[in-house]
């Protein structure tokens, strides 16, 4: 009796396996890119960093907490009647700051302490009113006659305490290269906003050292950044030949830009009238140092620094004209964030393709 042949199981040829795997891999990459696009779109639009903040009210009004309706800025009478001081939480050269309460909401009262600096105080109030946006602390009211400003309270305080905050058990999950880079993106976004503000190109002059600069910004409870102190914010108008000088004293140290330092050597005593003015590129010079602070020493931060090396080198060009704009720095930061998120999500994808 003739035996029937046994049919062995046929395997796909190696070429077919490779084609199927490649197709699946490409589909996975496309899916990843779609998810990444949705994530970053959500980050740039719904995380409080959008160009139009839906929580903002019309000029002269504010919305606080979970209240849906906008209220008009509080007047002198309303502040005196409705706001109760709780305790002093800070004092600078220009003003004293009090944690206060208004209708069961924590708020902040800032009051002038040195009458010789009232022009700085009123300039800060003018800037605060004109620049209300997602980048600036929310104004709740003011009283020019009593040199009083009322703003929203942010319990995490200024950026000087960032590292301490990130080591609190409640916030340890935020202490990652990803979250720290997003804070740097917030900071550069604010610089970009000031350089292209509704009032024109503004320079952040209260930034002669890192500690001073960090004290000008607040950390919100959802880990974003707001500029808080606008007392020293002069206007640059290059077309009109209008440049600025940050104060009337000699500035020293590597944190300030080269053009902010006395250019005539130690043999010539400093004289304010001889000090050349400069433009907004002083803010660009400081970005790498501020970002280095933001990144800290967490796992992955050195990889971020490596990706930012070229743009930071450009920020440190001695000639201000050769430095990038804040918009260019911001674009680079966002590209780096996108790239690193993709690499974390799909390690080795490039090699596999």
What are 60-98's pLDDT values in tens digits?
999 998 788 999 999 999 999 999 999 999 888 889 999
Q: Does 246 fall in a domain? A: yes
Say whether both 182 and 252 belong to one domain.
Answer: yes
With beta carbons less than 8 A apart as the criterion, state whether 305 and 336 touch.
no
Give the global pTM: 0.84
> Does residue 259 sit in the same domain as residue 282?
yes
How many C-beta atoms surround the C-beta of residue 235 within 10 A? 16
Look-up of token digits 């930012």: 308
Whether the Cβ atoms of residue 155 and residue 86 lie closer than 8 Å to each other: no
Among the three residues 153, 176, 198, which one is the final residue of a domain in this structure? 153
Shared domain check, 120 and 162: no
pLDDT, tens digit, 9 for 90 and up, residues 132-165: 999 999 999 999 999 999 999 999 999 999 999 9
Does residue 262 lie in a domain region?
yes
For residues 179 and 8, which has the higher predicted lDDT (pLDDT)?
179
Residue at 6 is within a domain: no
Integer CA distances (angstroms), 335 to 57, 219, 328, 343, in order:
32, 24, 11, 12
* Contacts of 243 by beta carbon, 8 Å cutoff, 6+ apart: 236, 277, 278, 279
Query: How do strand 71-72 and strand 105-112 relate by DSSP bridges?
Result: unpaired
Q: Which of 91, 121, 153 is the last residue of a domain?
A: 153
Residue 344: predicted pLDDT: 81
pLDDT band at 350 (very low <50, low <70, confident <90, very high): very low
Answer for the pair 83, 150: CB distance below 8 angstroms, yes or no.
yes
Helix (H) or strand (E) holding 84: strand 83-91
For residue 351, pLDDT over 90 is answered with no
Q: Give the domain-ending residue among 134, 153, 172.
A: 153
Q: Are residues 261 and 164 in the same domain?
A: yes
DSSP per-residue string spanning 230-249: -SS-PEEBGGGTB-B-S-SS
Judge whether residue 347 has pLDDT over 80: no
Contact present, 132 and 139 (Cβ < 8 Å): yes
Within a domain: residue 338? yes
Structure token pair of residue 348: 């080795």
Query: Encoding tokens for residue 117?
Result: 């600096």
Q: Does residue 269 fall inside a structural domain?
A: yes
- Give the three-state DSSP class for 267: coil
Map tokens 């001889």 to a residue. 274
Give 107 or 17, the one with higher predicted confidence.
107
Same domain, 297 and 184: yes
- Parent domain of 89: 69-153
Which of 42-46, 184-188, 192-196, 200-204 is predicted with the least confidence, judged by mean pLDDT?
42-46
Residue 349 token pair = 């994808």
Q: pLDDT (tens digit, 9 = 90+) per residue, 35-63? A: 555 555 555 544 434 455 656 789 999 99
Residue 47: strand, helix, or coil: coil
Over pLDDT 90: what percentage of the chain?
76
- Contact, 184 vs 294, CB < 8 A? yes
Question: What's the CATH number where 220 sits?
Answer: 1.10.510.10
Residues 230 and 315 in one domain: yes
| 113 and 226, same domain (yes or no) | no
- Whether 11 maps to a domain, the answer reads no
Same domain, 166 and 285: yes
Closest listed residue to residue 108, CA positions, set 74, 131, 72, 66: 74
**Among 29-33, 83-87, 284-288, 340-344, whose mean pLDDT is lowest?**
29-33
Q: Which residue in 59, 79, 57 sits closest to 69, CA to CA?
A: 57
Backbone angles phi, psi at 178, to 5 degrees: -65, -50
Sign of the CA dihedral 292, 210, 325, 182? positive
Listed range (45-54, 183-192, 216-225, 273-282) with the worst mean pLDDT: 45-54
Q: Total structural domains in the chain?
A: 2
Residue 49 within any structural domain of the chain: no
Average pLDDT, the chain: 88
Q: Is residue 135 domain-shared with residue 208, that is, in the same domain?
A: no
Check whether residue 225 and residue 205 sit in a common domain: yes
Average pLDDT over residues 273-282: 97
Please state, as a whole number, how many other Cβ atoms lie within 10 Å of the Cβ of residue 231.
22
> Do 286 and 203 contact (CB within 8 A), yes or no?
no
Residue 103 tokens read as: 């209708």
Do 173 and 202 belong together in one domain?
yes
Q: State the pairing for strand pair 105-112/148-152.
A: antiparallel
- Given the DSSP bridges, would you call strands 71-72 and 225-227 parallel, antiparallel or unpaired? unpaired
Quick one: pLDDT at residue 222?
A: 94
In a domain, residue 19? The reply is no
Domain identity same for 163 and 140: no
- Secondary structure of residue 101 in the 3-state scheme: strand
Summarize pLDDT for 229-255 with one digit per residue, the tens: 999 999 999 999 999 999 999 999 999
Q: Which has more confidence, 48 or 171? A: 171
CATH number, domain of 84, equals 3.30.200.20
Distance of CA 218 to the CA centre of its chain: 10
Token pair belonging to 239: 């077309």
In this prediction, residues 209-236 reach a mean pLDDT of: 96
């Amino acid at each position: 009796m003739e035996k029937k042949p046994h049919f062995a199981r046929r395997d796909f040829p190696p070429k077919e396996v490779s084609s199927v795997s490649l197709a699946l891999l490409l589909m996975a990459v496309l899916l990843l890119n779609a998810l990444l696009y949705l994530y970053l779109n959500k980050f740039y639009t719904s995380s409080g960093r959008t160009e139009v903040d839906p929580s903002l009210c019309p000029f002269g009004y504010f919305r606080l907490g979970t209240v849906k309706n906008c209220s008009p800025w509080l007047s002198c009478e309303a502040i005196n009647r409705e706001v109760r001081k709780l305790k002093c939480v800070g004092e600078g050269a220009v003003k004293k700051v009090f944690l206060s309460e208004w209708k069961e909401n924590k708020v902040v009262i800032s009051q002038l302490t040195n009458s010789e600096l009232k022009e700085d105080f009123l300039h800060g109030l003018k800037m605060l009113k004109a620049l209300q946006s997602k980048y600036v602390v929310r104004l709740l009211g003011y009283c020019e006659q009593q040199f009083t400003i009322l703003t929203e309270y942010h319990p995490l305080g200024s950026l000087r305490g960032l590292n301490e905050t990130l080591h609190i058990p409640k916030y340890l999950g935020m202490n990652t290269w990803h979250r720290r880079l997003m804070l740097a993106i917030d900071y550069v976004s604010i610089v970009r906003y000031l350089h292209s503000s509704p009032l024109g190109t503004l320079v952040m002059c209260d930034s002669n050292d890192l500690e001073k600069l960090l004290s000008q910004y607040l950390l919100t409870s959802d880990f974003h950044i707001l500029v808080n102190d606008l007392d020293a914010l002069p206007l640059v108008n290059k077309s009109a030949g209008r440049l600025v000088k940050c104060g009337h004293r000699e500035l020293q140290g590597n944190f300030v830009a080269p053009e902010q330092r006395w250019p005539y050597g130690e043999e010539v005593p400093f004289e304010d009238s001889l000090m050349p003015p400069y433009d907004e590129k002083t803010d660009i010079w400081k970005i790498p140092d501020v970002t280095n602070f933001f990144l800290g020493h967490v796992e992955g931060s050195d990889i971020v620094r490596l990706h930012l090396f070229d743009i930071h080198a450009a920020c440190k060009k001695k000639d201000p004209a050769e430095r990038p704009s804040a918009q260019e720095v911001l674009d680079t930061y966002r590209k780096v964030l996108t790239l690193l998120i993709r690499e974390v999500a799909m390690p080795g994808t490039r090699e596999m393709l």
